[in-house]
Every structure is written in C-alpha cells, then in structure tokens.
Amino acid sequence: MGVLDGIRILELARVAPAELPAMMLADMGAEVLKIETPEPGRDTSDEWVRRTIHTFVNRNKRSMTLNMKSPEGQKVFRKLASTADVIVEGFRPGVMKRLGADYETLRALNPRLIYCSLSGFGQDGPYRDRPAHDMNYLSLAGVLNLIGEKDRKPVIPLNLVADYAGASLHGALGIMMALFARERTGRGQHVDVSYLDTTVSLLAATPNMRFFFSDGLAPRRGEGFLGGSYPYYAIYTTRDDQLLTIGCTEPWLWENFCNAIGRPDFKRFARTADQLVRAANAEEEASRREIEALIRTRDRDEWYELLVKADVCVGKVYDIPEMVADPQINHRRMVVDVEHPTQGRVRQIGVAIKLSETPGAIRSAAPMPNEHTEDVLKDLGMTAAEIADLRRKGVVE
C-alpha cells in the first residue's frame, strides 16, 4: 500500500518540470490522470511509442485527451475536478481562467481541492506574464553569475536548479503540505510555486550567501571555497584524460588527501575562515597546479581506489553509461526494469525517496497519449453514444 493510495490528481502540463511533481506523488500511490490536448495525426510509429513509454516524468500515470477550449471539454473537466484531491497545472497565469478551470472556479465546486500552479514568476508581480526558461531564472536569481571560472562567461548548467530542484520539488512538497493541512482543516488551498522564487530560496541556503545580509560580502564567480580555485575543492585530470573531483573542505579530510598523495606539506592549504568569498591567492593556486601535475601520473580508477581507502571525499566524473552501471546506484535500485504490456522490458530510473513502511513503486511505464480516455469517460457515466459524439466534435480523440 502506498502512502498516497486514494489520492486523485489531475495534471495539466506540457513541460517536464510541471510533470515531475505528480509523478513523484504517483510513485507513492496517488492516482494521476494526465490531461492532454487532442492532436489529430499524432505520430504512432514504433520508434515514437518506444521513446514515449520511457518518459520518466509520466510513469505511473493514466492519460486522456480533452479539448479544454471547447465548452464540452470544460464540462468534462469540471466533473473530474469535482471529485479530485489535487490539480497540478503548469501554464502562465491567466490561461486556466480562460479555460474555465482556475482555482476560484473549481474550489466553488470542490472546497477540498488542492490546486498547484507552477509558473515562471508566480501568480502576481510585475513579471508574472513573461515567458522564461531555466537559464533566465538562474540569471535573475543571481545563480548563473556564480557558476564557472572567474575570467570567463558563466557556465550554463543542466536545467536541474530552477526547473527541477526549484519548481518541481517545491511543487511536490507544497502539495504534501496542503494535503496535511487539509487533514486538519478540511479545506483545500492554492499552492503558488514560482521557478524564480524557488531558485532564490535554494541560493540562500548555500555558503556563498551566508554573510551577504549580515556583512555585505557579495559572492563572485570563481571565488569562495566552493568556486574551484582552491586545491581542496577542485576537478583534476588524470593520466588517462579522465576527471576526478576532490571535495575536502574539512581540514581533517584534506589531511587525509595530502597524506595519500605523498604531500603532507600541502596540509597548510586547508580551508580557512577567510576563504568564504575571496579567490585563491597565488600560492594557493600554485599548490593546485602542483597537485594537478601529480594527479596526472596515475589513471582515474587507480586514484579513486587509493583515495577511497584513505577516507577522502573523491568522485569519478562519470558519463551516463558509467553512472547507470555504478554498483551503489544499482544497490539502491536507482535503475530498474518495468514490464510493459506491449513493449516488453522498459528501463527506468528508480524511486529516490526510500520509505521503510510505505515504499514507492513503479507500477507502470509512461502511458501513450489518449490511452485511457474511453475508460475515464465511462467512469464518469457516459454512454458509448456520448463518447462517440465527443470524438466527432473533436473534444477527445
């Protein structure tokens, strides 16, 4: 039994960050119905089918098509919403109101409804109607300007920060908080999640920001003890042209590293309190270059085994096939296989949150768009003739 068994979620989202929150809840037992726009002539080739069912963010969901711009489609949606526990939507503010499916409209039908909106800038404020993507949020949050080397342009990271750690995870957490509050009050509420807000919040938790408000010390790109300029927190190239990460910010771990590489004299370059925002000085940079030359004398895996045994914070810079084969990843069941009724074995990334009493589960791979439309409409009490009429009008596929 999943911890969220019996919780019914409707999802209206076209981008993966808005699809991930409901998937996380589906992994824990929630019943998620994905509402998609009818697409006449949709590609149904075997290759397209194979790729679709591997879509991580849509596993454990059902799918139906519904033309939300039509009065009939809006009527069907309101029927679904009247008994739903949660709605997750990822459109710009105002879109759901134009579709007759905004929070104020639906909570009048269902006062217990929890309605989660994920949008770039939130439901209010001067930027609320603007389009943006992960890199734009990072730049406005001050995050992008801190990523990369000092004398170069910022490095654009994968869209893990604003999109997923920001909006997706905060969205899932906000829904869970609202469900918990509903247990006490009996009332639902609107969960307003902004990609920009959540990125700013994540930045505030980093060491870079620790003394900004208190002492006015503004972090800068490539500086500070996590900026990559210090020898104890850096990426090194090995003899076989592979990469190794060393993250020994604690003095005792740095000592372990220095002893392991045969350079105990480098212990004096351990992290100090004044390095929070400043860049490495000439002597510190020189020590990093010396270590780089030393690390070049052995292959990556040889160094890794040696440093692990020496109790050093070390990591191999994997490519994706290496990550998928890693023994720790597999021991924790972060790569699993799911049987699909028509496509056979489907490989998936596993459930990251491990609950001892009510563990999550991957019950099904991602559905084909429109796979469950007829079942959903029948569950609403519609006859075959009524369903055929909706198809004729283009309300559903």
Indicate which residues carry an active-site annotation. 163
Indicate left, alpha or beta for 94 from its phi (over 0: left) and psi (-120 to 50: alpha).
left
Phi then psi dihedrals of residue 362, to 5 deg: -100, 105
Q: Could you tell me whether strands 233-237 and 86-89 are parallel, antiparallel, or unpaired per DSSP bridges?
A: unpaired
- Tokens representing 216? 């006015």
* Alpha-carbon span 300 to 83, nearest angstrom: 56
* Alpha-carbon span 231 to 245, nearest angstrom: 11
- Whether residue 256 contacts residue 312, with contact meaning beta carbons closer than 8 Å, is answered with yes
* Alpha-carbon span 102 to 171, nearest angstrom: 17
Give how far the C-alpha of residue 392 lies from the chain's centroid of Cα atoms, to the nearest Å.
38
Question: Burial, 347: exposed, middle or buried (Cβ in 10 Å; 0-12, 13-18, 19+)?
Answer: exposed
Neighbours of 66 (CB within 10 A): 26
Which is nearest to 24 in space by CA: 65, 56, 68? 56
* Alpha-carbon span 163 to 175, nearest angstrom: 17
Instruction: Look up residue 63 and give its DSSP letter.
Output: E
Residue 31, beta-bridge partner list: 8
* Alpha-carbon span 131 to 360, nearest angstrom: 35
Question: Burial, 45: exposed, middle or buried (Cβ in 10 Å; 0-12, 13-18, 19+)?
Answer: exposed
Instruction: Look up residue 382 and give its DSSP letter.
Output: -
- Tokens representing 177? 């908080």
Order the strands of the 190-194 sheet from edge to edge: 61-65, 31-36, 8-12, 86-89, 114-119, 190-194
- Whether residue 269 contacts residue 232, with contact meaning beta carbons closer than 8 Å, is answered with yes
- Whether residue 227 contacts residue 221, with contact meaning beta carbons closer than 8 Å, is answered with yes
